[in-house]
Structures are given as C-alpha cells and as structure tokens.
A and B are shown apart, each in its own frame.
Chain A
Amino acid sequence: MSYPSDYRYTTEHEWVAPKGKTARIGITDFAQHQLGDIVFVELPPVGTPLVAGQAFGTVESVKAVSEVFSPVSGKIVAINEALVKSPELINQDPHGTAWMVEAELDGEVPAKLMDTKAYEQFVAEAEAAH
C-alpha cells in the first residue's frame, strides 16, 4: 500500500492529513500490519484537547494494545463513528475511511513530522531491522 503524498507521518506510525485549519488523524498501513486484525478502537469524546506527541486513543488486536499518539496539537472536532462500529476498517483502508479523529489545529503542523518520502524510508528501515 502506498503512503499518500499529502500526509505527514510520525515515528510512532500515525498520519495526519491537514486541510486548512483542520486535520484528520489515523494510523498507517505499516502500523496496522504490525498489529494484525484490529478488534477495538477507543477514541475520546469530541472537544478533547490534543497535544502533539501525547496519546489520545487506543487500538486493539486480539493480543496487543497500542496507544495512538497525536501528531498535532489542537482539539477534537469529530470522531469516526463508523470506525468505532467497524474497527476492521483500519485493516482495510488505513489511510482513508479509517481516519480516527478530526482536529482543529493549534497553529502549524509540527515541522519534525516526516513527509511521505522520509516515512517510506523510515518504514523500510524498520522492516529491515526485523
């Protein structure tokens, strides 16, 4: 699966897709592969503040739990109810319909986030390490 060119990525394998003052956040294809079949997604309510680098939710497979760290700071303005009902969307379409939350941004997207090319290289290195 290719990584969308207009997204930015974290070293914890989250993506953020900025669109004006808001942005959608999810986890990457690499992350969903590592976790396996996702059975549960836990998201905070709308209105919850987000702090870049801090956990805001969890995704669970049968035998693993992973925290999801926010790539950006801001406030949650929408959560993906469809994903909560059908966690398997993360396995099927991690970069699209399986977005997790939509945030109103506090300022700019942090500069330290990777662009697609950097992230692809990061993933290639992670895979080689295994």
Chain B
Amino acid sequence: MPTRASRHIVQNEPLLFEVSSPGKQGCQLPPLDVPAVELAGARAEVPDFPEISELEVIRHFTRLSTWNYGVDTGLYPLGSCTMKYNPRINEAVTRLEGLGDGHPLQSAALARGALRIMDLLAQYLLEITGMEAITLQPAAGAQGELTGILLVREALAARGDARRKVLIPDSAHGTNPATAAIAGYQVENLKSNAAGTVDMASLEKQMTGEVAALMLTNPNTLGIFEQDIHRIADLVHERGGMLYMDGANMNALVGRSRPGDFGVDVMHLNLHKTFSTPHGGGGPGAGPVAVKRELEPYLPIPALTRRNGEPALDYDRPRSIGRVRAFYGNFGMFTRALAYIMANGCDGLKQTTEDAVLNANYLRKKLEGAYALPYPTPSMHEVVFSDAAQAPHGVRTGDVAKRLIDYGFHPYTVSFPLVVRGAMMIEPTESASQAEMDEFVEAMLAIAEEAKTQPELVTGAPHTTKIGRLDEVAAARQPRLRWQPSR
C-alpha cells in the first residue's frame, strides 16, 4: 500500500527552560542614547525566564515546527474548517511598510490607504453575500456571532418587541449556543429531520413570539443546503424574528448563491475559512458581520462610511451597540482576504466554490461503499460519514482518524456534528488535486479493510509519529499547565 508518509530524522527538543543557561541572550539592543533612569520599586528579574542564544531560538522553533502538520505539508480535509491553501502574496502585502507598521490611531488623513483597503474589502464582501451593510471589526467568527446577535437584540428592542429565546439546530457549531447564552438569550434546540435539515414542522411549532432569532448554518454542518431556506426565512420573519446565518460554510456558496438573496438578515463570515487567511495553529481569525438595512444603525463604531467620496470612519452613531474590539479589528486579515479576492476575481471565486463542491462529491462517491453515509441528501463542500460500518469491529471514528496520520494525511473532523454518532466530517476544499484525493481515498479504503482484518492496528494508531496517543485522562485529572523548576 503506497503511503504519503515516510520516516526521516526528527530532532528532539526540550522546553525553552531546559535549554536555558545564564547570561545568554538572543538579540542585542543598540546602546542607550539618553541618560538611564532608575525606577524605584523595579523588580529584580523575571525568575526562570529563558536565556538562550539567537541560533538556539531559531533551532528551537524550527524543530518544534517540524512536529506540526499544516496545509503546506499535505491534504488537510478537516471538515468545517476549510483548510485551503494560504497564498504567499497575502503574507507579502500584509507586511509592506505602511501596512504592517501603520498605527491604528493615525488620523484619517495619514491612513487613507488603510481606509481604502477596508472600504474595498467591505464592498466585495457585500457583493459576495448580497447583504446591505457590514462591519469588519469582530476578531473571529465567534465574536462575529456575538456582534450579530447583539444587533438583533437592539433592532428588536427598537421595534418594542424584545424577546428571550434563540433557536439553534442540533447540528450547529458549539459557538452558536454559547454566543446566544452570552448575549442573554435562552437557547432552544431545534431538531433536524431525516434529511439532515431543519424540520419545518418543529420550526412551525417552536418559532413563537418569544424567539428573537434562528441561528442557521447554510449549508449546514452536514454539508447540506437547506432546501426550505425560503420557507424558513419567511416563517421566521412572519413571526417577528430574524434569521442569523453562520457563514462558516460560505466556501460552498461564493459566486453561486447569496445569503442576502435567500432571506438572511445578519451573518458573519470567517475570513480564515472562506477567504484563505491562515489558521495559524488556532488563530488569528476575523469575523466580519454583514446585515440588512434594518440592522445597519446598530453596527459597531467606528463604522465604515464615505465622506466626499473618500472612505472614512464614522464615530457619530447614536444607535450603535458600541465597540466590540479595540481599534478596527484584525486589519492584517483584511489585507490577506482582499488579496485573495483580487487574485481570484469574480471568475476565480466562482470556480473555487465549484471545485470545492466537486471535490467533496468526488470523495463521497469514492468512499460511500466503505463508510456509512447517514444522510443521503446531496452534499455541498463537505461530506459527513459515520463509523457505523467499523464500530462492530471495535474501531471508531477517532481510530480511523489516527490511522490516517500513519498514511500521511491530516485527519478529518472527528465526532462532529453531534447529530451523527461517530461522525467523520470531510472537507477537501478546492485546493485538493485529484491525485491527492485518490491517495486519500486509497488510504481510507485500506483503513476500512484493516478495521475488519486487524482492528488493533487501527485502534493503536498512530504508529509513525514522534509520540503515541497521550493519556488525556491523567492530564485532566492532575493538570500541569506550566513548567516549574525542580527545586
């Protein structure tokens, strides 16, 4: 069986504190050109803080990096995360002098370029979503959700119709209920139907005058487009609520379908998913929130506007919910996302969506004999299998995932969405080539076979990594969350 993985030398590397030795320093400051000043009550030193040379710093963080797997390493079919290629041009433009070092409090006259970038990105995102106004300020998807729900809350209060509940389908990301709760709402679960989509009968019953919003992901976390989206939106609106869309899965829609056209009132985008800004090992992201007209007055300050045709910031917005983050948000993500949109253009963006959907359907077709497909509904940009065929052999989704590592692939998303028992959520994105997907398919089929014939090979995986499965139970019972010197 061919595999993408082979062994090579991996350096061991202790903790920074274990390589530290007194007196070393990784950089030198220029001599102080003004008189030194004494500060009364200054601390003597930072105890145990590392002391290492520049080369040691380089080796340390280089060695550590080799223990990671990134999109640059290989296929990263992590469902719901849209692990697409992160173009280098994005990085280059972000670090240009005048952008990477611009100060957020420079007056507008000295930040005209930065404002132009924000304005153009905002304009493009509105065109892509079909929405009517936007804020770029939220720092990540989850903060975008919170911003969006606070906007809903404000708009409903202005209608004199404050409400106390938010409806959330059982297939939703965990951030949705957490957000609604933090915004002060009671969370009510909405069950999915046999097709994996919103059950209209339940919605009909649960969408009462107490419900402020329905938080929907479309396509949902099963990778399924909500066929009834128009009826859903109409029902929510008729009953006086608002439709929030979690834009995590926009990679299935860009250039093909616009939330603004199918009844969404407010949504967030994840620039780190759909618009190729890097995931960075867990952030930073960026979560712009796009809205319909009714919600515009409540957008965070400063809001993007135009004055005499020039992009500007508007602080004078009495109905605004206020700031959700210091300064303007993750500007460095705006430059990256804008570079991505410019590089693709209208034609490329549409093709990206088509390729992402084609790739997911290709994997679905190739794997559906070996793995159970809980929902036969057509897939968009991702497909969710389950471990139902492997479980009788004692092999679960987490085991198959670990075994994929031995074959040289990053695993899919394990055990999510929660509505599928033993879920395997696969999202190849448009970046995967057919050859790469064929290798992935071969690996998945080989693992399905191993699950039957030598299940312990799968349940004991991975076998080729620097470390084996870690004892997470012991780690949680006696947490060690920092290094301490053995004195």
List residues of A whose CB falls within 8 A of some B CB: 37, 39-40, 60-63, 87-88
Contacts and interface: CB of A to CB of B under 8 A. Distances in A.
Nearest to B477: A39
A101 to B, nearest CB: 21
B472 interface: yes
B36 interface: no
Nearest to B472: A62
A60 B477 CA distance: 10
Nearest to A36: B473
Nearest to A91: B473
A63 B477 CA distance: 13
Contacts of A60: 476
Nearest to A86: B477
Nearest to A130: B421
Contacts of A88: 477
A39 B415 CA distance: 20
B181 to A, nearest CB: 14
B422 to A, nearest CB: 11
14 contacts: A37-B473, A39-B473, A39-B476, A39-B477, A40-B476, A40-B477, A60-B476, A61-B473, A62-B472, A62-B473, A62-B476, A63-B415, A87-B477, A88-B477
A40 B164 CA distance: 32
Interface of B: 415, 472-473, 476-477
Contacts of A40: 476-477
- The binding surface of chain A is classed by DSSP as loop
B170 to A, nearest CB: 16
Nearest to B478: A39
A85 to B, nearest CB: 10
A87 B415 CA distance: 25
A62 B472 CA distance: 7
A39 B202 CA distance: 37
A104 to B, nearest CB: 31
Contacts of A87: 477
A60 B476 CA distance: 10
B449 to A, nearest CB: 25
Nearest to A60: B476
CB-CB nearest 4 A-B residue pairs: A39-B476, A37-B473, A62-B472, A39-B477
Contacts of B476: 39-40, 60, 62
A71 B415 CA distance: 31
B320 to A, nearest CB: 36
A127 to B, nearest CB: 14
Contacts of B477: 39-40, 87-88
Contacts of A61: 473
Contacts of B472: 62
Contacts of A39: 473, 476-477
Nearest to A37: B473
A39 B471 CA distance: 12
A117 B363 CA distance: 49
Contacts of A62: 472-473, 476
Given A39-B477, A40-B477, 12 more contacts: A37-B473, A39-B473, A39-B476, A40-B476, A60-B476, A61-B473, A62-B472, A62-B473, A62-B476, A63-B415, A87-B477, A88-B477
Contacts of B473: 37, 39, 61-62
A63 B415 CA distance: 11
Nearest to B398: A63
A37 B415 CA distance: 18
A109 B476 CA distance: 36
A51 B162 CA distance: 31
A63 B414 CA distance: 12
A50 B46 CA distance: 48
A7 to B, nearest CB: 27
A42 to B, nearest CB: 13
Most B Cβ at <10 Å: residue of A37, A60, A61, A87: A37
A37 B475 CA distance: 12
Most A Cβ at <10 Å: residue of B415, B472, B477: B477
A87 B477 CA distance: 8
Most B Cβ at <10 Å: residue of A39, A40, A61, A63: A39
B154 to A, nearest CB: 32
A39 B473 CA distance: 6
Nearest to A88: B477
A121 to B, nearest CB: 23
Nearest to A87: B477
Contacts of B415: 63
